Amino acid sequence: MQSSTIRELFLDYFSSKDHLVMPSFSLIPQSDPTLLLIGAGMAPLKPFFTGEKKPPHPRVATCQKCVRTPDVERVGHTGRHATFFEMLGNFSFGDYFKEEAIAWAWDLVLNGYRLPEDRLWVSIYYEDEEAFKIWNEKIGVPADRIKRMGKEDNFWEIGLGPCGPCSEIYYDMGEEAGCDRPDCDVGCDCDRYLEIWNLVFTQFSREASGELVELKQKNIDTGAGLERLAMALQGVYSIYDIDMVKPVYDHFYNLAETDRRDQEVPLRVITEHSRGITFMIGDGVIPSNEGRGYVLRRLLRRAVRFGKLLGMEGNIITDAVPLIADIMGPAYPELKEREEYIRQITRLEEQRFQETLSQGMDILEEYIENIRAKGETVLPGDLAFKLYDTYGFPLDLTAEILEEKDLGIDREGFDENLKAQQERARAAARVSAGEEDASKYKPAENMTTIFTGYETLEQEGKLILALVDGKEQEELKKDQKVEVLIDYTPFYAEAGGQIGDTGYIESTSGLIKVENTFFSPWGQIIHQGVVEEGRLSSGEKVIARVDSGRRQGICRSHTSTHLLHRALRNALGQHINQAGSLVAPDRIRFDFNHFSAVTPEEIQAIEEEVNKMILANVPVQVEMKSLEEAEQLGATAIFTEKYEEDAVRMVSAGDYTLELCGGTHVSSSGEIGLFKIVSEEGIGSGLRRIEAIAGMNAYKQTVERDRLIEKISSSLNTSESRLEQKFEEHMSDHKALQKAYHEMKQRLAASEVKTLLSEVKDVEGVNVLSAKVTAENQETLRMVMDEVKNHISSVVVVLGSVSDGKVILVGSATSDLVNKGIRADQLLKEVARRVGGGGGGKPELAQAGGKDTAALPAALASVEELVRGQLKTVGQA
């Protein structure tokens, strides 16, 4: 039976039992910030189990994409564990319970999938008599086929809260799949007894006292591995042989070097990981050094490294993406849609890793040699950390390579280094954010402040807390730097990229200038500023006024950001997601994921689209919805933000954009006026940043440009319309002049050389030239000397010049003369001495300098005599 049929049969079966079939949720958890990746069918449904959210139907069935990183070490070593797999599941939220769950699972396995009964086994929690009775009496499974297992295997529990016993269905793959141990049985760690389906009966709640209490609302949560069912139904011993995976395995098998094709584990690992990588990127995970991005990076790096072990070259994973997208596309169309994007991301990451790998490997090899030389067996933590921190070499990779060489790693030492570094980084971040210890705001912890600034910019309120340096004050005095809380405030506290408001807080007796507004660690709105006039006392009535011009600028920027987000998606693809932003009154910064630079043409198109939406003057509306409703309406949420479940703010601009957003906006897009993109740049792997301006600031920029153009036009003595042409004329004139100038200079130099050549003297059969020339530096002097030497094959040259009130000298002797005993270095030393300086070099070439410019002519004149002297010395020797 084909995998696709197994999937369909499951969902159809539970649909016929009144289950709502929901499509697979994203691998990225949408409503559980504590979770990195979805690892089970029930994970995205958790709010329905806990009662936090009302399920769309009391019975649900799904086929859910899953990533289970804890299983990563088992991949390849067993035939049945993958990090990426699909889990089929049926769920009951306080509806049916144990009896139906067991009966339906058995019915589907026997009559739907037609697995042979004599190969099936079941397990129960050893104390769950209810389950035993259902299996044994109602279903008719013989008692010796029902294994009782302990807490570890068959009781599902995470900390406190809902928990309960499980019951599993096993399929016997046959003796040949087993480990041959005499005690091999259901539950053995080998591949013989394959756990295909786990039924979890959530019936208790674990209390803090340790007690188990029966739940009023009992739930069913089941999970059946699609790949494992396929193993049983296709009669193969591993997931690498099932229809969905085999072609990928074969692809890698063929890529491996012939003599390495029997390396089963690496082949399996790379096959398995490449599937997971493709799905994760398809769902929007981007490689990074933390969180789920790190999980992805780790899988990819592991796969590439195993690929290398098999002798593979090039972009190993990238090239497998189209094949995986083809196989899995019919069930997961997003893979086909984003195929090109997935390939771009993998390619980038593979190439990066290749570089890291070769660099890190060299360094690690060196470390290993050092350890061995010292007779040690463990890599010190600081070195492992250095590899990780400076060279981006993953710790687990270091550990793996060391392990292959029977060496260990000092993990504690590594952790210490890591912690110290994180502490440094945190301290640095605190300093740069101007933020200190949270305890500073401790007195605010139990207070309430209410934001009224969506509707009004001026608000009456009461000053409920006044702080100076974190200490509560009864009274605030002039010039004090203060932080205050008011019960009702129109000031927006920095959040979601939008910066905090500024303005004034006024009482009958004093005035505070508010310079920043932000949230305390407990969510109160804090105004930070200076007392400009008078005094204010705690408990006093105040009027708070937001700087409305600045706020208006912020609103323009914020709505522009939404328009930009949508325009980016339209121009570059649906994979674009906001990765960070800054919304200020005078500028916008927008970070997003994209694999390549945005071209000038694309920027132009994006900017134009945003401006069209501004001209269309569409209404900007805010509505409160439940998170679920908003999601159904297709509102864009930012992954990194947390949202309330029951009331989210949905901001739309016409039907052009719809985002969950807590920020402040203009009321119609026309208020923005004008939008200009200022720059686009890369800020990390797969991340880009656009900076833009809007409103008055964009207008000011055009005015500034006009002024510049006018200035240039007038200095070029032309009109704006002829500016471009005039500029080109100027440029070509400039080039012609430059060329003429160079020629002239060369001609001058040539004629100077000609004069110099006429000054060459014959000193006892040796050509000698010593002369004063005009040159600004040693370099030019050398050039003139070289030019002379180009014309005479055998010569001693000493040239001097005065530059900046100092003497500079160069000298040289051709090698035939050096053989005769001429030494340019000694010659120059002597000449330099006469001008009050010194120098050095080699017999063939030397340079020197001095201070006494007046003595230069005489010094140069002495060269003849000096040469004679050198010749004589040799003659005597």
**Which spans of this chain sit near ligand ATP (rule: CB under 6 A)?**
68, 71, 81-82, 85, 87, 195-198, 223-225, 227-228
Kindly state the tokens that stand for 788: 């002379």
Kindly state the tokens that stand for 528: 């930070």
Give me the least distance between CB of 575 and ligand ATP, in Å please.
Answer: 27
Q: Which helix (H) or strand (E) holds 548?
A: helix 548-572
CA angle 576, 578, 583 (to 5 degrees): 140
Q: Which is nearer to ligand ATP, 73 or 107 (CB)?
A: 73
Question: How far from chain centre, in Å, is Cα 606?
Answer: 24
What does 642-697 look like in DSSP terms, one character per residue? ---SS-EEEEEETTTEEEE--S---SBGGGG--EEEEEEEEEETTEEEEEEEEHHH
Kindly state the tokens that stand for 723: 């500016």
Q: Which is nearer to ligand ATP, 81 or 297 (CB)?
A: 81
Residue at 169: amino acid letter: I
Give me the least distance between CB of 328 and ligand ATP, in Å please.
Answer: 15
Kindly state the tokens that stand for 574: 């649906």
- Three-class secondary structure of residue 161 per DSSP: strand
Kindly state the tokens that stand for 194: 């394959």
Residues paired with residue 310 on neighbouring β-strands, in sequence order: none
Whether the CB-CB separation of 824 and 832 falls below 8 Å is answered with no
Q: Return phi, psi of residue 508, to 5°.
A: -65, -20
Whether the CB-CB separation of 802 and 837 falls below 8 Å is answered with no
Give me the least distance between CB of 625 and ligand ATP, in Å please.
Answer: 34
The closest alpha carbon to 575, from 795, 274, 833, 334, belongs to: 334
Q: Which is nearer to ligand ATP, 195 or 483 (CB)?
A: 195
Whether the CB-CB separation of 309 and 265 falls below 8 Å is answered with no
DSSP state of 760: -
Give CA–CA dist 96/134, Å, rounded: 14
Give me the least distance between CB of 194 and ligand ATP, in Å please.
Answer: 8
Residue at 800: amino acid letter: G
Q: Which helix (H) or strand (E) holds 250?
A: helix 246-255
Give CA–CA dist 843/138, Å, rounded: 108
DSSP state of 522: T
The closest alpha carbon to 682, from 589, 571, 578, 597, belongs to: 597
The closest alpha carbon to 484, from 495, 471, 494, belongs to: 471
Q: Return phi, psi of residue 564, to 5°.
A: -65, -45
The closest alpha carbon to 865, from 816, 831, 815, 820, belongs to: 831
Give CA–CA dist 591/582, Å, rounded: 9
Whether the CB-CB separation of 75 and 276 falls below 8 Å is answered with no
Kindly state the tokens that stand for 355: 């570089």
Pairing of strands 525-534, 120-125: unpaired
Give CA–CA dist 638/625, Å, rounded: 16
CB atoms closer than 10 angstroms to residue 56? 12
Kindly state the tokens that stand for 305: 């490294």
Quote the radius of gyration of the chain (alpha carbons, Å): 39
Give me the least distance between CB of 132 and ligand ATP, in Å please.
Answer: 19
Whether the CB-CB separation of 303 and 277 falls below 8 Å is answered with yes
Give me the least distance between CB of 204 and ligand ATP, in Å please.
Answer: 18
Residue at 63: amino acid letter: C
Q: Which is nearer to ligand ATP, 195 or 349 (CB)?
A: 195
Give me the least distance between CB of 505 and ligand ATP, in Å please.
Answer: 56
Kindly state the tokens that stand for 542: 């105040």
